[in-house]
Amino acid sequence: MRTLAEIWSRFWFGPENPRALAALRIAWGIALFQKVTGCYGLYRLPRMRFLFPRHEYFSEQSYPVNPEGFSPSYPGLGWLPQPSFEVYYTIENLLLVLSILFLLGLAFRVVGPLTALLVGYAFASSPFFYHHHIFQMAIVTSILGFSRSADRWSLDALIPGVKTEKVGLTRMPRRMIQVLVSIIYFFTSASKLNHGWLSGEIIQLFKDSGSFHGHISPWILDHFSCQALGLITVGTEIFLVFGLWIPRVRILAILAGVGLHLGIDSMMGVGSFSYQMIALYVAFLFGFPDSKEAIHGE
């Protein structure tokens, strides 16, 4: 019988399928590209446009600045300066190029960490830039950017002379992302276990405030009560906490999650969060190998 320490070690540090990590990098690269180009928000169809890149602020006058005498910072990051408008604008331009290189897996030993650092800096430099989906983007980009997620299915792997390590690839990066997904769904569902969501009052508030947009919203609101929409949302998120881990219902959980997020994205603006979550489902689609060949990346 395995000891608890052996189970823990195997869970985090067992051999990884290099193609699984590569597929996750590709999926995340697409989500990152969507973010920097503004290609999200099905409710905006057919007004959706690719922007290369999509800038959060188009003028120095609209750019948030620190009030005099006020220095917003996160704990331990008071030393990190808020970028000027020109620097922030340049970072967004760089992230467009880096997102493409990240997706293709070219010069990844430089591109991966640099992308993670720029996303992290853009998020952490000031609470004025806080969005929950950017926080998630900083975490996942760091995990993948500092891992060997370009060992397969990348331009680096096709270029003669570019060395890729053959040993020591463990499941930790993908496990971290799997656990992160469950944590996100756990807390989002737990925060909704209240009268407002279970009775549909929150959905009614969204409806009354004009938060719903797009062509599909009227049909959805005509065919489903506000309470039904609230219960579907909460129930699906609870199901995803556990369902993604259970092989027999994993595909059903993924389909439910895709339906939930695309439904939300077709009715209201939530940034690129829906597509980030869909991309992270790839972390659950591959099994973890146990063979010696898998450890050597074969």
> Tens of pLDDT along 8-36?
888 999 998 899 999 999 999 999 999 99
Q: Quick one: pLDDT at residue 70?
A: 52
Q: How confident is the model at residue 289 (pLDDT cuts 50, 70, 90)?
A: confident
13: which residues sit within 8 A by CB, 6+ positions away?
170, 171, 172
At 163 the pLDDT is 62
List C-alpha distances in Å: 155 to 58, 99, 164. 34, 14, 12
Average pLDDT over residues 93-100: 96
CA-based Rg of the chain, rounded to a whole angstrom? 21
Q: How confident is the model at residue 298 (pLDDT cuts 50, 70, 90)?
A: very low
What pLDDT digit, counting tens, does each position of 199-249 carry? 999 999 999 999 999 889 999 999 999 999 999 999 999 999 999 999 999
Cα gap 174→196, rounded to integer Å? 35
Mean pLDDT value across residues 86-90:
91
Q: Given the structure tokens 């999200």, which residue do they identify?
A: 40
Judged against a pLDDT cut of 50, whether residue 196 lies above it is answered with yes
Tell me the CB-side half-sphere exposure of residue 99, using CA atoms within 13 A: 24
Residue of higher predicted confidence among 132 and 236: 236
Residue 294 pLDDT class (50, 70, 90 cuts): very low
| pLDDT for res 291 | 46
Report the pLDDT value the prediction gives residue 166, as an integer from 0 to 100.
58
Cβ partners under 8 Å of residue 3, min gap 6? none
| DSSP per-residue string spanning 67-118 | PTT-----TT-TTSPPPPHHHHHHHHHHHHHHHHHHHHTSSHHHHHHHHHHH
Contact 201, 195 (CB under 8 A): yes
Cis, bond preceding 247 (omega within 30 deg of 0): no
Query: What is the structure's pLDDT at 76?
Result: 78
Asked if residue 53 has a cis previous peptide bond (ω within 30° of 0), the answer is: yes
116-125: pLDDT as tens digits: 999 999 888 8
Which band of pLDDT confidence, cut at 50, 70 and 90, is reported for residue 165?
low
pLDDT-derived band at 104 (thresholds 50, 70, 90) equals very high
Q: Which residue ranges make up each domain of the chain?
A: 16-297
pLDDT given at position 199 = 95
Check if the beta carbon of residue 151 is closer than 8 Å to that of residue 165. yes
The predicted pLDDT at position 297 comes to 39
